[in-house]
Amino acid sequence: MSFWSVGNWRRKSAPAVGVAVVSVDGTPDPGDLADLLSTCELLRAQASEAGVRLDESAASLEALDQMLPRWRDDSEEMSWLGNDAGLYLGTVVVRTVPGAVWEIRSSGQPVVRLASGREVDVVEAGHAWAESGVPGLSPLYAEVAER
């Protein structure tokens, strides 16, 4: 079993600008990677407080799009939430779109690779959503899922 680490990425000393994943032995186990990237603790806590159930479905992305963006008053929290939103979007895509898989770029950045070969930078999309709400997570999912 591979040991995956996202390092000390929840440190409060600086805003999050992305996520990097590093493997001890360089051989990713897709199941372990999917489990690691689906954690999204801050997003799950925010959603729970808002009464939103994150069940890794397209409907949960729609519910997230309807949440009041209270995090936008705190740039550090917004940045961390952007990471989580992107990883959650990727989790929903990987678990519901046939042929979609997590892939780790040489920089350590997780992206979703679709069966067509297209890469989707879900973390970047999550940051855009957290900062402005545009594009929404559910429209992004719909666009990715139809390909």
What's the predicted TM-score (pTM) here?
A: 0.82
pLDDT of residue 67: 95
Residue 13: pLDDT over 50: no
Tens digit of each residue's pLDDT (9 = 90 or more) over 32-84:
888 888 899 999 999 999 999 999 999 999 999 999 999 999 999 999 999 99
Q: What percent of the chain has pLDDT over 90?
A: 69
- CA gap 79, 103 in Å, rounded: 22
Residue 9 pLDDT class (50, 70, 90 cuts): very low
pLDDT of residue 71: 93
What 136-143 contacts at long range (C-beta under 8 Å, 24+ apart), as own/partner pairs, is 136/61, 136/65, 137/61, 137/62, 137/64, 137/65, 137/85, 137/88, 137/89, 138/58, 138/61, 138/62, 138/64, 138/65, 140/89, 141/58, 141/61, 141/89, 141/92, 141/93, 142/58
pLDDT of residue 25: 65
Residue 83 Cα distances to 117, 131, 137, angstroms: 23, 11, 13
Q: Which residue has the higher pLDDT, 26 or 114?
A: 114
pLDDT of residue 22: 55
**Nearest alpha-carbon partner for 122 in 112, 133, 132:** 112
Q: Which two tokens stand for residue 79?
A: 């940045």
What is the pLDDT averaged over residues 103-111? 91
pLDDT of residue 4: 42
Q: Which residue has the higher pLDDT, 76 or 3?
A: 76
| Range 4-145 has CATH code 1.20.120 | yes
